A and B are shown apart, each in its own frame.
Chain A
Amino acid sequence: MSTDTPDAPSDDAPSDDPPSRAELAARVNELEDALDEATSADGTKKMSIIATKGTLDMAYPPLILASTAAAFGYEVTVFHTFWGLDILHEERSKNLKLSSVGNPNMPVPNAVAALPGMDRVTTKMMEKKIADNDTATIEELIETSLDMGVEFQACQMTIDLMDYDEADFYDGVTTGVGAATALQDMADADIQLLV
Chain B
Amino acid sequence: MNAEFDIAETLDVKGASCPMPVVKTKSATDDLDAGDVLEVLATDSGSMSDIDGWAAGTEGVELVDQEEGDDVYKHYVRKTE
B1-49 residues with Cβ-Cβ distance < 8 A to A are: 15-20, 22-23, 25-27
The answer to whether B26 and A71 have CB atoms under 8 Å apart is: yes
Partner of A71, one of B15, B16, B17, B58: B58
Enumerate chain B residues within 8 angstroms of A141, measured Cβ to Cβ: 19
Bound form: Cα–Cα A147–B26 in Å: 12
B73 at the interface (CB under 8 A from A): no
Bound form: Cα–Cα A134–B19 in Å: 11
Enumerate chain A residues within 8 angstroms of B27, measured Cβ to Cβ: 71, 147-148
CB distance from A60 to the nearest CB of B (A): 10
The answer to whether A144 and B16 have CB atoms under 8 Å apart is: no
A71-B59 contact, Cβ under 8 Å, with A64-B18, A134-B15, A135-B17: no
Partner of A148, one of B26, B54, B58: B26
A136 at the interface (CB under 8 A from B): yes
Closest to B18 in A: A64
B57 at the interface (CB under 8 A from A): yes
Closest to A63 in B: B19
CB distance from A43 to the nearest CB of B (A): 9
The answer to whether A64 and B19 have CB atoms under 8 Å apart is: yes
A128-173 residues with Cβ-Cβ distance < 8 A to B are: 133-136, 141, 144, 147-148
Of B16, B23, B27, chain A has the most CB atoms within 10 Å of the CB of: B23
The answer to whether A68 and B17 have CB atoms under 8 Å apart is: no
Enumerate chain A residues within 8 angstroms of B22, measured Cβ to Cβ: 68, 71
Closest to A141 in B: B19
Closest to A43 in B: B59
A interface vs B, CB < 8 Å? Answer: 64, 67-68, 70-73, 133-136, 141, 144, 147-148
B interface vs A, CB < 8 Å? Answer: 15-20, 22-23, 25-27, 54, 57-59
15 contacts between A and B (CB under 8 A): A64-B18, A64-B19, A68-B19, A68-B54, A70-B26, A71-B19, A71-B22, A71-B23, A71-B54, A133-B17, A134-B16, A141-B19, A144-B20, A144-B23, A148-B26
**Known pairs A71-B26, A72-B58, A134-B16 / 15 extra A-B pairs, C-beta < 8 Å:** A64-B18, A68-B54, A71-B22, A71-B25, A72-B26, A72-B57, A73-B58, A134-B15, A134-B17, A135-B17, A136-B19, A141-B19, A148-B23, A148-B26, A148-B27
